[in-house]
Amino acid sequence: MGIISSSIARKVAMALSGLFLVLFLGQHFTINLTSTFSPETFNEISHFMGTNFLVQAILQPVLIFGVIFHFVMGFILEIRNRSARKINYVRYDGNANSTWVSRNMIYSGVAILAFLGLHFYDFWFPEIVHKYIESNPADATRYYGELVEKFESPVRTGLYVLAFVFLALHLFHGFASSFQSVGFNNKYATALKKFAKFYAIAIPAGFVFIALFHHFNH
């Protein structure tokens, strides 16, 4: 496959798929946020997203492809990178020259992947079953209730919060670093990277807020 033929191409592909997922996160967050102040709006948008043909037939597969591509490529890179140093150091002081998060993207990534499993189990599979397998009649008001119900459990809420922490770690390095990967490095780069770091904290923090909001407001 041409796209993974060179290390730089792989790196750029990783960055672009990551950026795409970052965009999606923002959108997902915005929709979810509405649930904390207007259940009606939340229901409306959810219904639209869940029933619109474009979203379901085009955006959704693209998104799923993006996710799969990002993590499969992540694993490929990890394997390649490990084989680039077959004999390890007896002592390696990574903290002296780089951040823990930047060196451990694979672990934060795996944690997020595990969370995605849970998240799909919670929302996406029931949704698919509800709509396409059981072919239930459309109900534009069910989404808010389903959401709130899920956050009753303190265990699930805890897991979600934990996952968002990993997401923050992952984004904290990944988002800013993607600009470097695509070669973006001009006078705006510093500001953009600052924004990326802010985003990396703010968005997961927002998700945490939403989860806790529904857990305690229940």
Partner 1 sequence: MKLTLKIWRQENAKTKGAMKTYQIDGIDGDMSFLEMLDVLNEDLINKGEIPVEFDHDCREGICGSCSLQINGEPHGPDRLVTTCQLHMRKFNDGDTIVIEPFRATAFPVVTDLIVDRSSFDRIQQAGGYISVNTSGNTVDANAIPIKKENADDAFYAATCIGCGACVAACKNASAMLFTSAKVSQFALLPQGEIEATERVENMVRQMDLEGFGNCTNTGACEIECPKGISLENIARMNREYLSAVSKG
Q: Which residues contribute to the site for partner 1 (CB under 8 A)?
A: 6-12, 77, 80-81, 83-94, 96-99, 102-103, 105, 173, 177, 180-185
Nearest distance from C-beta of residue 10 to partner 1, angstroms:
6
What is the smallest separation between the CB atom of 82 and partner 1, expressed in angstroms?
Answer: 8
CB 123 within 8 A of CB 150: yes
Closest separation in Å from C-beta 111 to partner 1: 17
- Six token digits for residue 34: 């509405």
Nearer to partner 1, 88 or 217 (CB): 88
Q: Which is nearer to partner 1, 90 or 138 (CB)?
A: 90
CA distance 164 to 201: 9
- Complex with partner 1: residue 13 or 111, whichever CB lies closer: 13
Are the beta carbons of 111 and 161 closer than 8 angstroms? no
- Compute and round to an integer the Cα radius of gyration of the chain: 19
Alpha-carbon distance of 120 to 126, in angstroms, equals 8
Q: In terms of CB distance, is 38 or 98 closer to partner 1?
A: 98
Evaluate whether 156 touches 55 at the Cβ level (below 8 Å): no
- Nearest approach in angstroms of CB 8 to partner 1 is 5
Task: Work out how close the CB of 110 gets to partner 1 at its nearest, in angstroms, rounded to a whole number.
Answer: 15
Cβ neighbours of 132 (radius 10 Å) = 10
**Strand segments (E) across the chain:** none
Pick between residue 54 and residue 87 the one whose CB is nearest to partner 1: 87
